[in-house]
Amino acid sequence: MSGASTSKKLSCLFAGMDVEVPDVAVTDITSDSHHAVSGGLFLACAGGNRHGLEFLSQALDAGIRAVAWEPADDIEVPILPTGVTGIRVTGLRARLGVIADRFFSSPSADVVVTGITGTNGKTTTAYLVAQAMQQLDMMTGYMGTLGYGIGTDLQPSSLTTPDCITLHRRLRALADAGAQRVIAEVSSHALDQQRTAGVRFQVAALMNLSRDHLDYHGSMQNYAAAKASLFAGNGIHTAVLNVGDPFAAEMAGRLGSEPELISVAVMDTDVDAPDARLRGRIVGEHADGIGLQLSGDFGEALLESALWGRFNAENLAMAVGILLANRVAFPAAIAALKEAVAPPGRMELVRSSNISPTVVVDFAHTPDALGKALETARQHTSGKVWCVFGCGGNRDQGKRGSMGAVAAKLADRMIITDDNPRDEDPQQIAAQVIAGAKSGAHCEIVHDREAAIETAIFSAAAEDVVLVAGKGHELVQLIGNVAVPFSDVAVVRTALGGMG
């Protein structure tokens, strides 16, 4: 699934940008010199720390035919070899979306693109929708944290939302593979960095907003503004909002008469949204999942699901809303979602035939997500709740104490371990986490993640639940600059298999 395109002339790519270009065709485009190819166009943008021209030599070695560069302070006009065209383009980064859309022949015009944003629940909801559409024989692409591809047959991806050019390349690949619709997770970083520029979203969904990425955005106001920007596109015909979340409810009040609004809420003692067009209420929680009663403007139905937890009730309700926005009939949406399963590493139950505790692996890495995962674990056990987690290095340090406090409050036993420490000192990260756990759960620190998981599983009773949080589906652990193969699920299965 390469997203290949026929060559395009520079005059087509830069039309209307007030630049003079020769009548030269290029075979590919990229802003990453590692991916430059013979006959291609290298787009050298000004960045926060580096300028793309610093990597021009690597692109030239690959045999590029042209380079477009963005003027900036202290950047000199590049001296190019014979046969390589240079184009000075003011505001190049802001124009990448237009250039990519033109090169890949407007891929988002050939599919219906749904963008899903929010702090928590993007991956599960997108995965549920993609599964349901496949169940309904609707060829559907998925792009997000788990990778990209048709349905659930996914290729890995390093970012929830890739760079602008890669995003358009993948949209073209999905369209060429037969996708009629694409469900895309959209991160706040991507929105702020205009990685989705040029994409024609027709449906936009907002899950919720809670603390995350403040190391990048600086404030909740900036974070909220980034999320809200998804809804600014003129082509959006339907917005799906979880109005049980205060920020989403505020967004709903600001939308006006267009686009069409499908408001969704799961009602409980904390949420009362009688005007929501799609309302859910949990009517059963058991070891095999939940029952969600849905009612409102579209009909009434009971959705029985194998997923655990109130937050998954919200994810399911939002998935119904997104399916409705994609013109799926209400009864068909319910029937398809009954067959859907949770994505890898999202409240994933790892079972054993041996007498052992119930183990759940989840991606929760924010205070809000960790709290919801622990509350769900509590609802499904008569025993104790164990929590094994850490916090990622080179990421928002301000949330570490909050995560420690949440775990101390909601777990009976907690083991703080290494997540992806990256370039930070794991001992310092653990100290910041434990500083928030002033009282509550019995706490210990076991830096070796495999040993921490084994300690919890071997120490827990058969009636207990062990939540392993933070990494979910990830298959590596980032230590310094090294990606060490590591899977929480694999470690859990090995540990459970060793219990007689």
Does residue 264 share a domain with residue 170?
A: yes
Chain segment 1-11, per-residue pLDDT in tens: 666 557 999 99
* Closest alpha carbon to 32 in 136, 172, 165: 165
Q: List pLDDT tens digits, range 41-66.
A: 999 999 878 999 999 999 999 999 99
pLDDT of residue 256: 76
Residue 419: predicted pLDDT: 98
Residue 1 falls inside a structural domain:
no
* Residue whose structure tokens are 């928590």: 120
- What is the tens place of the pLDDT at every residue in 486-495? 999 999 999 9
Q: Sort 39 into a burial class: Cβ within 10 Å, 0-12 / 13-18 / 19+.
A: middle
Q: How far is the C-alpha of 208 from the C-alpha of 248, rounded, in Å?
A: 6
* pLDDT band of 106, cuts 50, 70, 90: very high
148 and 255 co-located in one domain: yes
Reported as a single tens digit per residue, the pLDDT across 19-42 is 999 989 999 999 999 999 999 999
- The per-residue pLDDT for range 151-192, each reduced to its tens digit, is 888 998 878 888 999 999 999 999 999 999 999 999 888 888
For residue 345, give Cα distances in angstroms to 127, 188, 342. 12, 21, 8
Given a contact cutoff of 8 angstroms between Cβ atoms, the answer to whether 165 and 68 are in contact is: no
Reading across the β-sheet that carries 348-350, which strands appear in turn?
348-350, 358-362, 465-469, 385-389, 413-416, 442-445
Is 205 contained in some domain? yes
Write out the residue range of the structural domain in which residue 254 sits: 107-338
C-alpha–C-alpha distance, residues 198 and 224, integer Å: 21
Cα angle value 87/88/93 (rounded, 5°): 105
Write out pLDDT tens, residues 197-226.
Answer: 999 999 999 998 874 545 554 566 776 777
- With respect to residue 343, please indicate whether it lies within any of the assigned structural domains: no
Looking at the structure, tell me whether residues 269 and 405 fall in a common domain. Answer: no
> For residue 329, is it within any domain?
yes
φ, ψ for residue 3 (rounded to 5)? 70, 35
Q: Is residue 284 part of a domain?
A: yes
* Whole-prediction pTM: 0.86
Q: Are residues 99 and 217 in the same domain?
A: no
- Can you give the three-state secondary structure of 426-487, one letter per residue? HHHHHHHHHHHCCCCCEEEECCCHHHHHHHHHHHCCCCCEEEEECCCCCCEEEECCEEEECC
Higher pLDDT, 272 or 133: 133
- Residue 2 in any domain: the answer is no
- Claim to verify: residue 132 and residue 244 sit in the same structural domain: yes
Q: Tell me the CATH number at 200.
A: 3.40.1190.10
Amino acid sitting at position 262: I
d(CA 70, CA 367): 40
Mean pLDDT of 389-415: 95
- Hunting for tokens 């052992």 — which residue is that? 356
Q: How far is CA 297 from the centre of its chain?
A: 29
Question: Do residues 407 and 310 share a domain?
Answer: no
Same domain? For 385 and 326 the reply is: no
Asked if residue 441 is part of any domain, the answer here is yes
Co-location of 90 and 121 in the same domain: no
Looking at the fold, whether 99 and 114 belong to one and the same domain comes out as: no
Q: What is the DSSP string of 58-80?
A: HHHHTT-SEEEE---TT-PPPP-
Domain final position from 103, 127, 145: 103
CATH of the domain at 68: 3.40.1390.10
Q: Are residue 180 and residue 291 in the same domain, yes or no?
A: yes
The domain boundary, picked from 306, 338, 370, lies at: 338
- The CATH number of residue 371's host domain is 3.90.190.20
Domain count for the chain, please give it.
3
- Single residue among 338, 357, 375 that ends a domain in this structure: 338
Question: pLDDT exceeding 90 applies to what percent of the chain?
Answer: 74
Which residue type is seen at 365?
H
Asked if residue 3 belongs to a domain, the reply is no
Q: Are residues 360 and 226 in the same domain?
A: no
Q: Which residues contact 174 (CB under 8 A, 6 or more apart)?
A: 1, 107, 111, 141, 143, 148, 149, 150, 182
| Domain co-membership, 356 together with 228 | no
Record the tokens describing residue 364, joined without a space.
């929760």
What one-character-per-residue DSSP string does 138-199 give?
Answer: --EEEEETTEEEETTEEE--SSSS--HHHHHHHHHHHHHTT-SEEEEE--HHHHHTTTTTT-
Mean pLDDT across 462-468: 96
Residue 217 pLDDT: 46
Q: Which of 249-263, 433-447, 453-467 has the highest mean pLDDT?
A: 453-467
Tell me what pLDDT residue 120 has: 86
